[in-house]
């Protein structure tokens, strides 16, 4: 089962690179297109909103298709979108191309996570999902730093041309390695939207929104923060992004293992750690020797939440795992958009880049509170189920 997971990871590598590399190239894109850095930051928001809009539309449109065919269609949309990014002549056409690219994102990760989980025994589902998302983390280890360096050396458009090539390779890998006989009950997906009436599903998606906003309120502006506050040179920022990618790779693996062990307690502990390290980042950011290790620890924690939340979304949506997994990707990216917008609005109102980690720490605590609410509801439902079972036995 490693080759199908490798094919999914390859596609997630390309998608992750095109999503995150724009953060490292914000100064270059802004200068080339004649816009401000906060305006260029809206390219992150536009992409994220494209995921939010595209996820349910493509979940409905592709529901009758076999899972392998669906994944190939979505990966092909990704290739076309990045081609349009590479040739976009101005800011608004680039924004439109980013949105087209984003349309495949939520549905691919949502359906891909369910496919990955179906390829392994039940007690390894979170680890399989984490393995698929390893492509996303590897994008931050290699794709983002190399894409940033390539864009700085040859122009930001060259990065998108490279991502087009990655996308073509991913489509080929899916065609060769992903099995055709993946179980899929193509029921009435519109009826499956009834899963959104379940409190646990809604709370899990809200946790996704807040957790992702917690990342993007800082990460969207990580390049100008490291350049202007910490005082790092552009090429040094590339190395810090490489270190960030190593950290989220570790965090992704760690999160998968913790989710297979004790999901909700682990998730709450991670959010406590995130709040603490972001407070440390506020005071460490003027000092390179402190900032670099702080960013590394932050990167481990910030991505350790992904596999647990995605697993929780699938587990809480019994009967509609594909829809819930896909919509949860939309929730993650709604958080991406919200975080990028909050950070940009704060900067436009006079906040400094060094103030952004305060916002991230606050959002971490909000996510922690939501986890506590979710666990309280779960315990109450468990008690009610126990009482009901006892009454049935007496009958």
- Residue 358's Cβ-count burial label (10 Å; 0-12, 13-18, 19+) is middle
- Quick one: pLDDT at residue 394? 64
- Quick one: pLDDT at residue 260? 80
Domains of the chain: 2-179+193-390 (1.20.1250.20)
169 touches 72 (CB < 8 A): no
Q: What is the rounded CA–CA span in Å between residue 175 and residue 71?
A: 9
- Quick one: pLDDT at residue 388? 61
Q: What angle do CA 111, 9, 83 make, to 5 degrees?
A: 85
Q: What is the mean pLDDT of each run of 10 residues along the chain (395 residues)?
A: 82 85 83 86 83 78 82 90 90 91 82 81 75 77 83 90 91 87 64 73 89 89 88 85 84 84 87 95 92 93 86 73 72 83 88 92 94 85 63 61
Q: What is the rounded CA–CA span in Å between residue 333 and residue 355?
A: 23
Q: 354: closest CA among 226, 234, 212?
A: 226
85 touches 93 (CB < 8 A): no
Q: What is the rounded CA–CA span in Å between residue 296 and residue 199?
A: 35
- Quick one: pLDDT at residue 337? 80
Tokens coding 161 = 């041309």
Q: How far apart are the first and last CA of the chain?
A: 47
Q: What is the rounded CA–CA span in Å between residue 242 and residue 304?
A: 17
Q: What angle do CA 344, 279, 285 make, to 5 degrees?
A: 70
Q: pTM surpassing 0.85?
A: no
Cα 252 versus chain centre, distance: 11
- Quick one: pLDDT at residue 275? 95
51 touches 105 (CB < 8 A): yes
- Quick one: pLDDT at residue 284? 92
């Amino acid at each position: 089962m490693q080759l199908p997971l490798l094919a999914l990871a390859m596609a997630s590598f390309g998608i992750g690179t095109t999503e995150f590399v724009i953060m490292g190239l914000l100064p270059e894109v802004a200068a080339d297109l004649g816009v401000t850095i906060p305006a260029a930051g809206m390219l992150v928001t536009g992409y994220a909103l494209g995921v939010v809009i595209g996820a349910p539309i493509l979940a409905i449109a592709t529901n009758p298709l076999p899972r392998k065919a669906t994944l190939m269609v979505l990966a092909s949309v990704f290739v076309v979108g990045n081609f349009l990014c590479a040739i976009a002549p101005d800011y608004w056409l680039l924004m439109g191309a980013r949105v087209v690219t984003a349309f495949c994102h939520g549905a691919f990760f949502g359906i891909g996570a369910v496919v990955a989980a179906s390829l392994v025994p039940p007690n390894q589902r979170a680890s399989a999902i984490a393995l698929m998302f390893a492509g996303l983390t590897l994008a931050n280890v290699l794709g983002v730093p190399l894409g940033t360096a390539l864009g700085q050396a040859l122009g930001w458009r060259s990065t998108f041309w490279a991502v087009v090539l990655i996308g073509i390779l991913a489509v080929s890998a899916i065609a060769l390695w992903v099995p055709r006989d993946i179980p899929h009950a193509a029921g009435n997906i519109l009826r499956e939207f009834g899963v959104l009436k379940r409190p646990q599903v809604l709370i899990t998606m809200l946790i996704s929104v807040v957790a992702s906003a917690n990342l993007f309120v800082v990460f969207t502006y990580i390049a100008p923060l490291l350049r202007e506050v910490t005082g790092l040179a552009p090429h040094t920022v590339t190395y810090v992004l490489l270190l960030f990618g190593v950290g989220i790779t570790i965090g992704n693996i760690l999160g998968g293992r913790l989710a297979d062990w004790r999901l909700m307690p682990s998730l709450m502990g991670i959010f406590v750690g995130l709040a603490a390290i972001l407070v440390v980042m506020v005071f460490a950011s003027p000092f390179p020797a402190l900032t670099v290790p702080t960013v590394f620890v932050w990167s481990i924690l910030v991505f350790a939440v992904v596999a647990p939340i995605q697993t929780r979304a699938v587990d809480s949506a019994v009967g509609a795992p594909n829809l819930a997994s896909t919509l949860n990707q939309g929730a993650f990216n709604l958080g991406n958009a919200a975080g990028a917008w909050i950070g940009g609005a704060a900067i436009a109102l006079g906040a400094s880049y060094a103030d952004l980690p305060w916002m991230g720490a606050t959002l971490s605590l909000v996510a922690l509170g939501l986890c506590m609410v979710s666990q309280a509801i779960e315990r109450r439902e468990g008690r009610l189920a126990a009482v009901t079972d006892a009454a049935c036995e007496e009958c």
